Structure 1
Amino acid sequence: MAAHVAGRKAELEVNMLVRDPHVCRSINDNHLNCKYFPVYKLPENLIATTDVKAALLGADFCLHAVPVQFTSSFLEGIAQHVDPNLPFISLSKGLELNTLRMMSQIIPQALRNPRQPFIALSGPSFALELMRKLPTAMVVASRDKKLANAAQQLLASQYLRISTSSDVTGVEIAGALKNVLAIAAGIVDGMNLGNNSMAALVAQGCSEIRWLATKMGAKSTTITGLSGTGDIMLTCFVNLSRNRTVGVRLGSGEKLDDILSSMNQVAEGVSTAGAVIALAQKYNVKMPVLTAVARIIDNELTPKKAVLELMNLPQVITRTLQTSSLCGLS
């Protein structure tokens, strides 16, 4: 996203706060991210730094890409350098494991500023395809319409279409839970259960996400839109998805610890899965597919037993013009 924004306007100075001095030097000296995108030239007006104060000084926007589980501690440590009026555009998707908080709650609380401007960015997008400038569509969500419009103007380009939404909860919940569903989809693939199983599982997972999100106050149209179904399809069906890859390897019989230790990026769905059971209980929603993923990750269930449990759920009587599911009428 830093490369995208910098590439749109050469007169912009885009500061990128990084932790690794080696990556920092690579970006500044060679205009390459040697760790993640070593073959993609970065704009010259993208400047990397390890200095928090220098990165944030005079900033108009902050694109926040710190993984969800580390966001609170990270922001608490730099809060003194953050302007209380600085809008945060959150790229991180997930729920904080112990508190069940969304990013729209985590960021203002960590910065000790309940009025910190917040925007959620979501939608079907892989970083690699953005770097290649392939056509992409995403959503910015904010309760402040002017703020959403400003973020749209910042990010929209010839190859990136940005829609706006006021449904922050819907965009965030869909973005978080689609990662858990992607693990389930990967498990089906890893177990070679076929296309019929995959279609049934993803359809059921979409229903579960919609049931929970609407109970939490989201709009059902958000869940069936670009940042919901659109993002779910991309993450569940494409091999570039980190969460899907975790599922494939689990379904193939690998151990979770071995999978995670071999990855150089965070699969947010692994942590978010732990919050699913608590949310399902809190909002009294039956979520057999997403709950099964949480139980597999916690070693309470094997993928094979999970499939047997799902297939042995009570059969459903379908009413006219309503959609049936594995666990009840939607």
Structure 2
Amino acid sequence: MVVLMEPSSSSFLNPNFPPNANPYSRNLILTNKPTLFLRFHSPATAAVDSLRCSATPPPVSGDPDPVPDSSSPDRRQDRRRAVRLAWERLVRWSRSWRSKAKSDVLERTNKVVVLGGGSFGTAMASHVADRKPQLEVNMLVRDPQVCQSINENHCNCKYFPKHKLPDNLVATTDAKAALLGADYCLHAVPVQFSSSFLAGISDYVDPGLPFISLSKGLELNTLRMMSQIIPQALKNQRQPFIALSGPSFALELLNKLPTAMVVASKDKKLANAVQQLLASDHLRISTSSDVTGVEIAGALKNVLAIAAGIVEGMNLGNNSMAALVAQGCSEIRWLATKMGAKPTTITGLSGTGDIMLTCFVNLSRNRTVGVRLGSGEKLDDILSSMNQVAEGVSTAGAVVTLAQKYNVKMPVLTAVARIIDNELTPKKAVFELMSLPQVEEV
């Protein structure tokens, strides 16, 4: 039986419990102000107990004093002290971790080669060159004009004409010279051209040269990822491979804005070495062993970004955008986990992080393609006006084939593929997606 005392109207709405209060105490005081006073009675003693009403509850032996109001100066000071102590512990842990971290990888690295002269390859080449002035960074490019501008004017005239590149970054069109003596190789060639490109330079690649792949996508006809394309094109299944992915626009990386990415390799020591090579005060690098998860998320997010752009181009509103991206994230997770990826990878930097950046920010090439499709432009006109590759266009068809292979329904990403193939208009795709059966969320 519970006996209720008359409450105070103000204090009853926001009761405060002492931090060490016993919730099973026979007398429970809700606040230190005139308020509700409860007494718990057993059936045996209920008959002899009586209801007592008092403005101030009587003292109860053994119960702690009530805590002060949460808005009191003492309480605010306690909160600030707790936050300060938590932050100081975090800083001490960070300093201790950094003091133990090895930096000998950067010290013993003398040369890094970057394959490709695109925007992201240029940004990463500049970043690596900034890591150590004595480090030799060679960019293998195919455009003689870009090569000349990098060597003579220290800028990439095609993508970053106003950004000065480090003096220790040089460009060449000679694959043999670029790869000779390299300690690490950053591969930044678009996925659809990678196989033929690598086959052409395979004679100059050392079998033990670690390849850090910056390329995201699936090969259209074979459905291969870069972890499969690189060793097969080089005819060396043991070629060391690392996938680099995460939310990172080339322009912001070049401007040294805070960025976080992940390197994935089945070789933990290799992943740690690349982490040491690339990590800096403005670039955080996490490690992962889930190569499949990192690669598939990096490929599929480009297709989802086209869908997000279509929603923007059609002015369908924020509700539609949120629903579409959420559904797309689920589709990516369904397929990735069927292929053996870890769900935590899909919710991490290379998954959700990259998806948010690519779907919601205007710097995204794939989102731009979607916006223009949603506005009524033809795909051929869009692609012919771009000087960069939107990987999601070629990846979309491969995604549908892959989904069929693993028996996964992917309505949003399939709709993008049909729009790209000119078999479905954006307006019709929206109607079809909204007409799908109302099902339980998975």
Same fold (TM over 0.5): yes
Q: For 2:435, which of 309, 312, 320 is the aligned residue?
A: 312
**Shift of residue 252, structure 1, vs aligned partner:** 0.2
Residues in 2 aligned to 1:294 and 1:31: alpha-carbon distance in whole angstroms: 40
For residue 321 of structure 2, what is the aligned residue in structure 1?
198
For residue 366 of structure 2, what is the aligned residue in structure 1?
243
**Shift of residue 296, structure 1, vs aligned partner:** 0.4
Residues in 2 aligned to 1:237 and 1:277: alpha-carbon distance in whole angstroms: 23
For residue 383 of structure 2, what is the aligned residue in structure 1?
260
Query: Does the residue aligned with 2:402 lie in a helix, a strand or coil?
Result: helix
Residues in 1 aligned to 2:403 and 2:295: alpha-carbon distance in whole angstroms: 16
**Shift of residue 274, structure 1, vs aligned partner:** 0.8
Q: Does 1:99 pair with 2:222?
A: yes
Query: Does the residue aligned with 1:158 lie in a helix, a strand or coil?
Result: coil
Q: For 2:404, which of 261, 269, 281 is the aligned residue?
A: 281
Query: Does the residue aligned with 1:78 lie in a helix, a strand or coil?
Result: helix
Q: Does 1:58 pair with 2:181?
A: yes
Q: Does 1:170 pair with 2:321?
A: no
For residue 131 of structure 1, what is the aligned residue in structure 2?
254
**Shift of residue 25, structure 1, vs aligned partner:** 1.0
Per-residue CA shift, 1:57-116, capped at 9, x if unaligned?
A: 000000000000000000001100000000000000000000000000000000000000
**Shift of residue 255, structure 1, vs aligned partner:** 0.3
The amino acid of 1:8's aligned partner reads R
Residues in 2 aligned to 1:22 and 1:225: alpha-carbon distance in whole angstroms: 39
Query: Does the residue aligned with 1:315 lie in a helix, a strand or coil?
Result: coil
Moved over 6 A (4+): none
Q: For 1:29, which of 129, 137, 152 is the aligned residue?
A: 152
For residue 27 of structure 2, what is the aligned residue in structure 1?
none
Residues in 1 aligned to 2:137 and 2:294: alpha-carbon distance in whole angstroms: 26
Seq. identity, %: 88
The amino acid of 2:382's aligned partner reads I
Gaps in structure 1 of 5+ consecutive residues: 318-323, 325-329
**Shift of residue 221, structure 1, vs aligned partner:** 0.3
Residues in 2 aligned to 1:156 and 1:239: alpha-carbon distance in whole angstroms: 26
Residues in 1 aligned to 2:155 and 2:197: alpha-carbon distance in whole angstroms: 25
For residue 85 of structure 1, what is the aligned residue in structure 2?
208
Residues in 2 aligned to 1:31 and 1:150: alpha-carbon distance in whole angstroms: 28
Query: Does the residue aligned with 1:140 lie in a helix, a strand or coil?
Result: strand
Q: For 1:2, which of 115, 125, 129 is the aligned residue?
A: 125
Q: TM-score, normalised by structure 2?
A: 0.72
Residues in 2 aligned to 1:172 and 1:34: alpha-carbon distance in whole angstroms: 30
Q: Does 1:75 pair with 2:198?
A: yes
For residue 108 of structure 1, what is the aligned residue in structure 2?
231
The structure number with the bigger radius of gyration is 2
CA RMSD of aligned residues (A): 0.5
For residue 210 of structure 1, what is the aligned residue in structure 2?
333
Residues in 2 aligned to 1:225 and 1:138: alpha-carbon distance in whole angstroms: 10
For residue 291 of structure 1, what is the aligned residue in structure 2?
414
**Shift of residue 131, structure 1, vs aligned partner:** 0.6
The amino acid of 1:244's aligned partner reads R
The amino acid of 1:139's aligned partner reads V
**Shift of residue 171, structure 1, vs aligned partner:** 0.1
Query: Does the residue aligned with 2:266 lie in a helix, a strand or coil?
Result: coil
Per-residue CA shift, 1:165-191, capped at 9, x if unaligned?
A: 000000000000000000000000000
Q: TM-score, normalised by structure 1?
A: 0.96
Query: Does the residue aligned with 1:175 lie in a helix, a strand or coil?
Result: helix
For residue 143 of structure 2, what is the aligned residue in structure 1?
20
The amino acid of 2:304's aligned partner reads L
State which drifts further: 118-127 or 272-281.
Answer: 272-281
**Shift of residue 22, structure 1, vs aligned partner:** 1.1
Residues in 1 aligned to 2:370 and 2:302: alpha-carbon distance in whole angstroms: 10
